[in-house]
Amino acid sequence: MLSVRRWALAATSVLVLGWQSLVVAADLPDFTELVEEASPAIVNISTRQKVSSQPMAGVQGMPDLEGMPPMFREFFERSFPQAPSPREREAPQSLGSGFIISHDGYVLTNNHVVADADEIFVRLSDRREMQAELVGADPRSDLALLKIDAGDDLPVVKIGKSADLKPGEWVLAIGSPFGFDYSVTAGIVSAKGRSLPNENYVPFIQTDVAINPGNSGGPLFNLDGEVVGINSQIFTRSGGFMGLSFAIPIDVAMDVVQQIKDNGSVQRGWLGVVIQEVNKDLAESFDLPKPAGALVAQIMPGGPADKGGLKVGDVILEFNGHEVVRSSDLPHAVGRVRPGAEATLVVMRDKQRKTLTMEIGTLPDDDAVAAAGGNDQAPSTSSNRLGVTVAELSDDQKKNLDIHSGVVVREVSRGPGAMVGLRPGDIITNLDNRSVDSVETFTQIASDLPDNRSISMRVIRQGRASYITFRLAQ
């Protein structure tokens, strides 16, 4: 009787586990239909570029290396004798992927896929290969628009809305990693609005979709078969995929496409400010209820922010009705505004919210800030609680930095100044949210600093301003 009960229990367990497995399997997405419908609009992109190489003609037994994989081509080139004089040849390279966005042959891809190419070739799903025209490119967003002449009935992808994506949502990539056409990989959205080094104007979509060289420029799909992003970059320490891939939102890409079609180039909005993240200490120093917003550390003279009344020390909390949670949110939002349009900013100034309206400018090609100059000496003092020796700014220094007040650090001894990283040559313009117009003012403010509270200090180093915080012990 006991054995029968055990058998019945075991049989029940098997049935339950089998049912659970079926439920789990049923919850997993099926990508087959999506891949079948979308694949015809995916293309492989290769380029030809004139490079210098050793001629192979006339070398007996030398095989034809055209179209051979680079790994094998390099082996054969090293294995055969070479003539001494170089010549130019055209080297074909399979570099990336792309996708067709219009029936008349517009193709979208990454700029780095086709940059510096002499000729661009697009291979369709039916194996037709044709030369493509570069309509326009935008290096800042790493996007390029191509055009092929293949009739008016080409298959196209469906364009979705990247703004509707949510972390945890399934996404799928189709591309040509390492030249393997129409490779399919899937994963989930890890995060949105990511900022990458030197990529201030693209709020990247982070995913765990496997992306490798050759996937660049290929589409990222949602479960509805709509393109929501363009696979662009990976984070890696090994050169291969490590679980972190980044895609350009399709909303950003289609705006770039429209500007290229209309104007031949892309223009972005510009405020003319240098901003930094508001951490917990800075929030306390500026009496903010929580760490949020973008702290204005520097304003470009004559720029839109300067003309619009924005001031150093303002914390930008909202831009055109959208909350600025992180400082990286601001460049993304400003860049989407057309130059010449008006924008509304909500800032925290002197512990009060203030609304400003200003005209957005055009992002310049070179927005670098000039480095500080001038070496004139001036009287100094060292009797302050920060452990620094400061001096008056010379007229040349004020002119070169385009500032009206401040003091320059001459020496740094042991104390709070050294602990926060102050260096000789640094310019201090604000201390404890008060303007520093002379050595005397600096000394007075320093003597009145409170204990055990976050204190902010605005420092200009090599022409770039930023806020730092510190505390004074009793």
Q: What is the pLDDT of residue 164?
A: 93
Q: What is the pLDDT of residue 31?
A: 93
Give the architecture (CATH level 2) of 380-470.
Roll (2.30)
Return residue ranges of the chain for CATH 2.30.42.10.
269-362, 380-470
Q: Which tokens is 51 given?
A: 């490079």
What span, in angstroms and rounded, lies between the C-alpha atoms of 261 and 255? 10
Q: What angle do CA 368, 372, 373 make, to 5 degrees?
A: 130
Q: Which tokens is 33 given?
A: 């239909």
Q: Are the beta carbons of 221 and 173 closer than 8 angstroms?
A: yes
Catalytic pick from 112, 138, 314, 456? 112
3-class secondary structure, 285 = helix
Half-sphere exposure of 419 (CA within 13 A, CB side): 11
DSSP 8-state code for residue 243:
S
Strand residues in 118-169 grouped as ranges (E)? 119-123, 129-138, 143-147, 158-159
Return residue ranges of the chain for CATH 2.40.10.10.
158-263
DSSP 8-state code for residue 136:
E
Mode of pairing for the β-strands spanning 245-249 and 119-123: unpaired
149 belongs to the catalytic site: no
Which residues does residue 99 pair with via DSSP β-bridges, in sequence order? 42, 108
Q: Are the beta carbons of 406 and 428 closer than 8 angstroms?
A: yes
The CATH label, of 3.90.700.10, 1.10.287.610, 3.40.50.10190, 2.40.10.10, for the domain at 158-263 is 2.40.10.10
Structural Rg of the chain based on CA atoms: 30
Burial of 250 from C-beta contacts in 10 A (0-12 / 13-18 / 19+): buried
What span, in angstroms and rounded, lies between the C-alpha atoms of 441 and 439? 5
Comparing CA positions, the residue from 325, 223, 274 lying closest to residue 465 is 274
Amino acid at 334: V
Q: What is the pLDDT of residue 185?
A: 95
Catalytic pick from 94, 216, 285, 327? 216
CATH topology for the 269-362 domain: Pdz3 Domain (2.30.42)
Task: Kindly give, in sequence order, each residue whose CB lies less than 8 Å from that of residue 11, ignoring residues fewer than 6 positions away.
Answer: none
Instruction: Flag whether 200 is marked binding.
Output: no
142 belongs to the catalytic site: yes
Q: Which tokens is 304 given?
A: 């839109």
Instruction: Flag whether 116 is marked binding.
Output: no
394 belongs to the catalytic site: no
In degrees rounded to 5, what are phi and psi of residue 69? -55, 140
Instruction: Flag whether 214 is marked binding.
Output: yes
Q: Are the beta carbons of 312 and 300 closer than 8 angstroms?
A: no
Catalytic pick from 142, 181, 251, 255? 142
Strand residues in 13-128 grouped as ranges (E)? 42-53, 87-100, 106-109, 119-123
Q: What is the pLDDT of residue 62?
A: 46
pLDDT tens sequence for the chain (474 residues): 545 455 555 555 545 555 555 445 557 889 999 999 999 999 999 998 765 555 444 444 444 444 444 444 444 444 444 544 444 555 556 579 999 999 999 999 999 999 888 899 999 999 999 999 999 999 989 999 999 998 889 999 999 999 999 999 999 999 999 889 999 999 999 999 888 876 777 899 999 999 988 899 999 999 999 999 999 988 877 667 788 999 999 999 999 999 999 988 888 899 998 888 898 888 888 888 889 999 998 888 888 999 999 998 899 999 999 999 888 889 888 988 989 999 999 999 988 999 999 999 988 864 333 333 333 334 444 446 777 888 888 777 787 777 888 888 888 877 777 777 888 888 898 888 888 888 888 888 887 888 777 888 888 887 788 888 877 765
What span, in angstroms and rounded, lies between the C-alpha atoms of 297 and 467? 6
Q: Return the sign of the alpha-carbon dihedral for residues 24, 27, 32, 35.
A: negative
Instruction: Flag whether 52 is marked binding.
Output: no
In degrees rounded to 5, what are phi and psi of residue 311? -125, 150
Instruction: Flag whether 198 is marked binding.
Output: no
Ordered DSSP codes for 392-435: EPPHHHHHHHT-S--EEEEEE-TTHHHHTT--TT-EEEEETTEE
